[in-house]
Amino acid sequence: MGAGHDTVAAELARRATAQGHEAHVVDVLRLLPYGLGTGLRRGYQASVRHVPWAYAGLYGAFLRQGTGPRPSGVPLARLAGDRLAGLVDELGADVVVSVFHLAAQLTGHLRARGGLRVPSAVFLLDFAVHRQWLHPGNDRYLCLTDAASAEVRRAVPAPVVTAGPVVAPAFRAPVPGADRWRERFARRAPGRPPVLLSAGAWGAASRPLATARLLAGAGWLPVVGCGRNERLLARVSREPALAALGWVDDMPGLLSACHALVDNAAGQTAVQALAVGVPVIGYRPLPGHGADGVRRMAALGLSEPAGDGTELLAALGRLAKGSRERADRVARGHALFRGDAMEYLNDL
């Protein structure tokens, strides 16, 4: 449903290939018949961008934990069952790894009913666990944090491990591209530290221009990442005090050049910032899993929550270069990257 899932899948595939395995990445939405996957993707994108309250309602009904009977994702997921099972047989796969909750529902359903003869693992890439990730048929769960692992253990009988996040090596090493970004920002706004406002791959954000103007007025250079949202990019580009970016390939360099990341989804961009060593501030989160993820990151001490503009500016000030608070945030983020997820997949 977004670039974060694709990014994690691509990095797991890269690691598997480097270890001598043959990796295949498959989009479960493309396995759904009758164009259902395309419709789901477009509907989700439209709701998050334009009617977030509608997605909040769907999230509350289908995904958020709760008591009593709740709708399941299995009926939809099972429509892709024959295609996935056939693909596994055709490729001679030894294990199936899900990085998206609908895929986890599908593999769990197939394993529980004997329709998938090889083990299934789930890499749960959200900080906040929602119920559609969870199916008792899966063979193993890999989580980002100990808190997430504990929550999954209470819900499913499968073995659960804390593998930590998955990012490409470029985020965990000295970043040569950072200097180019710093020079670019210095030419654009000398003396104004850049702050990245991420709207994700789809350019979905709540009042991004208002947030950017607030930062600009306080002496920062707001760098608005618009993803692939051309309309948002055009709007932001008209503001002289802001820096507007479309899709960016050099995220390690961009993040390393920024003072902080203002995040609204607790997704892969936030994970990448933690890996690089850039503090994360949660502000104006997207509804549903975005809001839950931002709250969970803050509760774990991995990010700074900001409830309004005053708190956002105060957080940026506290996270000054060389400050103890900044050093603590960076250390907590780095501590998440404790191992390699492939260690827990190779023995399945």
Cα atoms found within 13 Å of the Cα of residue 316, Cβ hemisphere only: 26
Distance, in Å, from the CA atom of 135 to the CA atom of 73, rounded to the nearest integer, reads 10
CA distances, 178 to each of 105, 166, 173, 300 (Å): 40, 21, 12, 28
Distance, in Å, from the CA atom of 317 to the CA atom of 312, rounded to the nearest integer, reads 9
Quickly list DSSP for 5-31.
HHHHHHHHHHHHHHTT-------HHHH
pTM attached to this predicted model: 0.93
pLDDT at 1: 76
- Under 8 Å between Cβ of 110 and 81: yes
- Under 8 Å between Cβ of 283 and 264: yes
> Which ranges of the chain have pLDDT less than 70?
66-71
Report angle CA 282, 174, 323 to the nearest 5 degrees.
Answer: 50
CA 142 to chain centre: 15
Distance, in Å, from the CA atom of 317 to the CA atom of 325, rounded to the nearest integer, reads 10
Quickly list DSSP for 289-339.
HHHHHHHHHHHTTSSEEESSHHHHHHHHHHT-TT-HHHHHHHHHHHHT--S
Fill in the amino acid letter for 192.
Answer: R
Domain ranges of the chain: 3-163, 170-335
Beta bridge partners of residue 261, listed in sequence order: 196, 280
Structure confidence by residue, pLDDT tens digits, 268-306: 999 999 999 999 999 999 888 889 999 999 999 999 999
Distance, in Å, from the CA atom of 6 to the CA atom of 10, rounded to the nearest integer, reads 6
Structure confidence by residue, pLDDT tens digits, 36-92: 888 888 887 777 777 777 778 877 777 777 655 556 778 888 899 999 999 999 999
Q: Which of 37, 160, 51, 158 is nearest to 103 (CA)?
A: 37
Fill in the amino acid letter for 99.
Answer: V
pLDDT at 3: 83
Distance, in Å, from the CA atom of 296 to the CA atom of 303, rounded to the nearest integer, reads 9
At 255, give phi and psi (nearest 5°): -60, -45
Q: Which of 348, 196, 207, 218 is nearest to 272 (CA)?
A: 196
Fill in the amino acid letter for 320.
Answer: A
Distance, in Å, from the CA atom of 93 to the CA atom of 90, rounded to the nearest integer, reads 8
Who's near 97: CB < 8 A, 6+ residues apart?
Answer: 12, 120, 121, 122, 123, 345
Assigned CATH class of 170-335: alpha beta
Cα atoms found within 13 Å of the Cα of residue 128, Cβ hemisphere only: 21
pLDDT at 70: 58
| CB atoms inside a 10 Å sphere around CB 213 | 16
C-alpha dihedral, 41 to 137 to 154 to 167, nearest 10°: -50
Tokens coding 85: 């099972």
